[in-house]
Structure 1
Amino acid sequence: MAQGLRAAIDFLLYGWLQVQTLTTRPRYAEHSRETFDAVLDTCERIAREKYAPFNRLVDTEEPRFDGERVVLPRATHEAWQAYAASGMLAAAQDYELGGMQLPYTVEAAGNAFFAAASVSIGAGMLTVGNANLLLAHGTPAQQRAFALPQLAGRFSGTMCLSEPQAGSSLSDISTRAVPDGPDFESDALGPRYRLRGNKMWISAGEHELTDNIVHLVLAKIPGPDGRLVPGVQGISLFIVPKKLVDTEGQLTGERNDVALAGLNHKCGWRGTTNTLLNFGEGRYPVRPPGLDGQGAGAIGYRVGAVGQGLRCMFHMMNEARIGVGMAATMLGMAGYLASLDYARTRLQGRPLGPAGKDPTQPPVPIIQHADVKRMLLAQKAYCEGALALELYCARLVDEQRTGAPAAADEARLLLEVLTPIAKSWPSEWCLEANSLAIQVHGGYGYTRDFPVEQYWRDNRLNMIHEGTHGIQALDLLGRKVRMEAGRGLQLLGQRIAATVSRAQGDAALQAHAHALQRAWQEVLDATRAAWADDDAAAALANAVPYLQAFGHTVLAWIWLDVALLAADAGDAAQRGRRQACRYFFHYELPKIAAWLQVVRTRDLTCAEMPEAAF
């Protein structure tokens, strides 16, 4: 598996994205392709030695609470230690912060190996995202006490958004944050509050892998009348550590009032703890007592201004969405490579035609059957296309950080438009790839003797992680394609037009170029039709079909751009990429017509279905 994955990553990084050219920029001047390769080699080795052999183990030995602590397999502890020691938690950070100053594209590619080896053991996605948020929005003291220990691997991090009664409706959260005494604004770590409430679906919310866990918690500060401000405008963001620390990030020896209320037992990602946390229930009372004199309330330090919590949290949420997209991609890739290996070695049946009717002839590998090739080619198109998309988005991050001002601004806006696709498209279609991997295995596919059923279970969570399809669709059609007067959509259209223009000069790709041009025009027409009279209810009634059509069009563009580099017909890998591109244009892109039809006509079949009629 590793050989095929590494070859794909190398081609996309160096052949397609030309990531080595970033070394001409001052930030990356001390790097070269050799240092990039060394990072990839290290990640590949750790993933092979510390992650892949234990993927089944962590699936069957789920986290358990023994009454005092959450117990994880020893393999999980060793994998975390190896990951932290590799420096990947701070890979893209400044040298002054203990980082390697790597391009984010290289960091993303390195982390891909861990997701493919065992997404359930996990790497540092939430911890790095937590630290990055604090580096962007926290005070110097907060960065020193909470972000730097995470980048060093001493602490780990979470994001605490959802609540049992509110789910994804963040405007309805009820966790309260009350100023901790009259001097609450004088604490060196930031304005100090007492939090009470419950948070649900918190990944890595309780464990013993690190010395401390830094929770970033969304909560509302009551007004003078004691009531919470309705809607998202009243949400603020707080650092709530599991254990209290001093201004240098050293443990004080006192436990904060954050308590595990239960572990969620999931169909996949079983090696990662998923928790319900209670804040301020009084199990670990913090002294001196709070305003009520009872000591109840977890201590939290506000990040940013009052009411700006969701804006700050989007820094981490958007990063996590791309991370989930990469996780979904790698699970799909792992299933694809496993089913490819199986199809090459499994003997069954005989070819169609006269020769195949002779029962005395030996059976052939199932990869010789047309339908098995169809399923393998679909997986290749989904997974390698998704990998290219995720790395392209990572490359936009580097452009945003180090490009000239105009290029950096374009990269920012393109990333805004593509983030819902980078999260949702792989989580739907690489899940379909996992389903096809099971199908290639036949009856063996749904047994635990082969890994593909676990890949499917693990990947099924990614359509929900960090925002469901419905949420991503509302974000795309309701906000992203309209923001800044549609400039992001225009920029994406310019990139697509440039690829189309180049492809028209390649005889083998001309038809694909024309098909992509038509598809993009259909997307633009549907976008305008959906918002014809600014009726949001009608425009967004079919936001998910719009998301699906938009995503398929983006992936068609990605594949066409990749295929332009795959011109060497004598190279099997290059020929495979062109064939995958051909598959996508012949089998996948035509699907957008049905999706866009209901968007363009603002079909209300679903919206107008009476509840009683179900």
Structure 2
Amino acid sequence: MSLRPTLDFLLHQWLGVESLRSRERFADHSRETFDAVLDTCERIAREKYAPFNRLVDTQEPQFDGEKVILPQATHDAQKAYAESGMLSAAQDYEVGGMQLPYTVEASANAFFAMGSVSIGSGMLTTGNANLLMKHGTEAQQRVFALNEFSGRFSGTMCLSEPQAGSSLSDVITRALPDGDGFENDPLGPRYRLRGNKMWISAGEHELTENIIHLVLAKIPDENGKLVPGVKGISLFIVPKKLVDTDGQLTGERNDVALAGLNHKCGWRGTTNTLLNFGEGKYPVRGEAGAVGYLVGQPGKGLQCMFHMMNEARIGVGMAATMLGMAGYHASLDYAKNRPQGRPMGAGGKDASAPQVRIIEHADVKRMLLAQKSYCEGALALELYCARLVDEQHTGDAQAADDARLLLEVLTPIAKSWPSEWCLEANSLAIQVHGGYGYTRDFPVEQYWRDNRLNMIHEGTHGIQGMDLLGRKVLMENGKGLQLLAGRINATLERAIQIPELAAHANALGQALAQVGAATKAAWATGDPGDALANAVPYLQAFGHTVLAWIWLDVALAAHALAESPARTGRLGAMRYFFHYELPKIGAWLQVVSARDQTCASLPEAAF
């Protein structure tokens, strides 16, 4: 079973991506160039990624005391990805890019995530370089970002610390000016960093000539003390190996040392590291301290880093989606070929009758349909968000601002919803396989292990829930939420005209009203402690409402097409979501609306 027909439907029949060709930035493109990009990425993923997914899971990264050793397959895959041009696909022609719509870029990258998310592609490297193109100086862009886009360098994001975790206000990594005249370095004001960073994906390897770390650190005040909270956080470029102003390696190692590799449940093909900055293992000019270059203004580092963090959150959502999709395809293939049991009814009691394939059993169909509704719905959501990115960058002023606000509201959903429900899809894929699914003879157990990370990294459900209910639905006097409601209502107005979809349109209208009422009820006292005690149930209900909207909008596009198995499948998945999933929001929103304190108020001793 191929992913391509689903992508083609979503891109062309649903999102109408070819309409972007009317914009000057994309004028050189056509359906043929979009298809060529997808063809190339599908082929590379099929040849360089998918065959080695199990290999990189079993041959974990090893550190020999000097360097990290990864399988040759990982080197080959990364080389093929860089040579494809996908690292700079959305960039200007002038810097070697393709000026490809981000919607097409995201679709093309889906093949790699499905082939082997564990090998990885370029999410962090591209995000790192994109941040520098937005906030870096011309020299920083030329020396660091452009070499990342070419694949010569790779990139990371270094936020968390062992003692702070996700609480970025508690980071204690320090940055001190590197001698007299530090502010006049051509690559930016030069500092020396000292501290430790944890959970750094791709933090040490030999896949590229250099690794460009983007590091959050605090510059002490005039009394040598760190400013508490996030206001004191600055952002620094800290290369693994020092470079000159032409981007050439100087031959000197920066004072960044691998302290250890984390041994993970899944996603084992990518290193995950603890890094020590400035401990003196690799002194620069005889002095301990990692050399770093300030990005943007002092104390404004978190604002800069959010550019990369939000991009990464959508990337995590896509990774989760494609792991779910891989499990769905595997379990569908298994169900079509595995004979077991007999039909329900009188004939099912005849032991001499031939067995039927398990896809003929109603409960197996239920599990397959759940996976289809989760994974294809999540893919549509991620591509809708990608389309908003294109609108933000190339639409008129009003459309661009609307897209910005919609992305603010939808980003917590785009990250969290697939990471929860496509993980559930992976669990159902194991269940379809029965006992075989729990063995390493089939790939579905690895898909589940790989996907379990996605509910955690780039912000847990707790963080996303507080971001959504505590910030995003309130920002700019609730304008983003109002815009989203407007989009949902526009879909309802179209769907209610079609008898086959009218009942679903009414159900979605009721769900939207419930979410709106719960949002007001949560904040009725104005106390964040009351409102945010049930931020995750709110996130779940909000996410299910958004996915119901996405499915209804997709169903409108599918309904307009001629009868086919694909059309029947999409409309069936939509019905499943409305009948089996959307009703769940009532229980979630009940505790939100009541500002229920069962969890928040239970004393520690009671546990």
Q: TM-score range by the shorter chain?
A: over 0.9
Letter in 2 for 1:158: T
Q: What is the Cα deviation at residue 67 of structure 1? A: 1.0
Q: Which residue number corresponds to residue 423 of structure 1?
A: 415
Cα deviation code 1:238-287 (max 9, x no counterpart): 00000001112111111000000000000010000000000000000001
CA contact (8 A) 1:569 1:575 kept: no
Confirm whether residue 505 of structure 1 aligns to residue 503 of structure 2: no
Q: Give 1:45-60 correspondences, 5 Å limit.
A: 45-60=43-58
Q: Which residue number corresponds to residue 64 of structure 1?
A: 62
Secondary structure of 1:193's match? strand
Q: What's the Cα RMSD here?
A: 0.6
Q: Give 1:12-411 correspondences, 5 Å limit.
A: 12-287=10-285, 289=286, 295-411=287-403
Letter in 2 for 1:234: G
Letter in 2 for 1:598: V
Distance in 2 between residues matched to 1:122 and 1:555, nearest whole Å = 27
Secondary structure of 2:200's match? strand
Confirm whether residue 611 of structure 1 aligns to residue 604 of structure 2: yes
Cα deviation code 1:308-355 (max 9, x no counterpart): 000000000000000000000000000000000000000000000111
Distance in 2 between residues matched to 1:596 and 1:187, nearest whole Å = 55
Distance in 2 between residues matched to 1:406 and 1:375, nearest whole Å = 43
Distance in 2 between residues matched to 1:130 and 1:96, nearest whole Å = 19
Distance in 1 between residues matched to 2:558 and 2:349, nearest whole Å = 38
Distance in 2 between residues matched to 1:591 and 1:385, nearest whole Å = 17
Q: 2:514 aligns with which of 522, 525, 530?
A: 522
Distance in 1 between residues matched to 2:463 and 2:557, nearest whole Å = 35
Ranges of 4+ aligned residues in structure 1 off by more than 2 Å: none
Confirm whether residue 576 of structure 1 aligns to residue 542 of structure 2: no
Letter in 1 for 2:589: L
Distance in 2 between residues matched to 1:576 and 1:527, nearest whole Å = 34
Distance in 1 between residues matched to 2:417 and 2:56, nearest whole Å = 27
Distance in 2 between residues matched to 1:352 and 1:308, nearest whole Å = 65
Letter in 2 for 1:599: V
CA contact (8 A) 1:345 1:365 kept: yes
Q: Which residue number corresponds to residue 552 of structure 1?
A: 544
Aligned residues: 606
CA contact (8 A) 1:213 1:241 kept: yes
Q: 2:451 aligns with which of 459, 462, 476?
A: 459
Distance in 1 between residues matched to 2:191 and 2:502, nearest whole Å = 62
Q: Which residue number corresponds to residue 565 of structure 1?
A: 557
Distance in 2 between residues matched to 1:257 and 1:144, nearest whole Å = 23
Cα deviation code 1:549-576 (max 9, x no counterpart): 0000000000000001112462110110
Q: What is the Cα deviation at residue 381 of structure 1? A: 0.2
Secondary structure of 1:564's match? helix
Q: What is the Cα deviation at residue 124 of structure 1? A: 0.1
Distance in 2 between residues matched to 1:349 and 1:479, nearest whole Å = 52
Letter in 1 for 2:566: A
Secondary structure of 2:54's match? helix
Distance in 1 between residues matched to 2:414 and 2:246, nearest whole Å = 37
Secondary structure of 2:598's match? coil
Distance in 2 between residues matched to 1:16 and 1:247, nearest whole Å = 47
Q: 1:442 aligns with which of 434, 438, 443?
A: 434
Distance in 1 between residues matched to 2:179 and 2:64, nearest whole Å = 36
Letter in 2 for 1:85: E
CA contact (8 A) 1:542 1:602 kept: yes
CA contact (8 A) 1:321 1:423 kept: yes
List gaps (5 residues or longer) in structure 1. Answer: 290-294
Secondary structure of 2:9's match? helix
Q: Which residue number corresponds to residue 587 of structure 1?
A: 580
Letter in 2 for 1:93: Q
Confirm whether residue 597 of structure 1 aligns to residue 590 of structure 2: yes
Bigger Cα displacement from structure 2, 569-578 vs 149-158: 569-578
Distance in 1 between residues matched to 2:478 and 2:338, nearest whole Å = 51
Distance in 2 between residues matched to 1:607 and 1:24, nearest whole Å = 53
Q: Which residue number corresponds to residue 472 of structure 2?
A: 480
Q: Which residue number corresponds to residue 292 of structure 1?
A: none
CA contact (8 A) 1:51 1:114 kept: yes
Q: Give 1:523-542 correspondences, 5 Å limit.
A: 523-542=515-534
Secondary structure of 2:557's match? coil
Distance in 1 between residues matched to 2:562 and 2:249, nearest whole Å = 61
Q: Which residue number corresponds to residue 8 of structure 1?
A: 6
Q: What is the Cα deviation at residue 7 of structure 1? A: 0.7
Cα deviation code 1:464-500 (max 9, x no counterpart): 0100000000100000000000000000000000000
Q: What is the Cα deviation at residue 533 of structure 1? A: 2.2
Distance in 1 between residues matched to 2:485 and 2:404, nearest whole Å = 15
Distance in 2 between residues matched to 1:393 and 1:247, nearest whole Å = 37
Distance in 2 between residues matched to 1:527 and 1:273, nearest whole Å = 40
Distance in 2 between residues matched to 1:282 and 1:7, nearest whole Å = 54
Task: Give the % identical residues.
Answer: 79
Secondary structure of 1:50's match? helix
List gaps (5 residues or longer) in structure 2. Answer: none
Letter in 2 for 1:339: S
Letter in 1 for 2:10: L
Distance in 1 between residues matched to 2:468 and 2:93, nearest whole Å = 36
Letter in 2 for 1:578: L
Distance in 1 between residues matched to 2:106 and 2:590, nearest whole Å = 36
Distance in 1 between residues matched to 2:405 and 2:567, nearest whole Å = 32
Cα deviation code 1:539-595 (max 9, x no counterpart): 000000000000000000000000011124621101100000000000000000000
Q: Which residue number corresponds to residue 470 of structure 1?
A: 462
Letter in 2 for 1:344: K
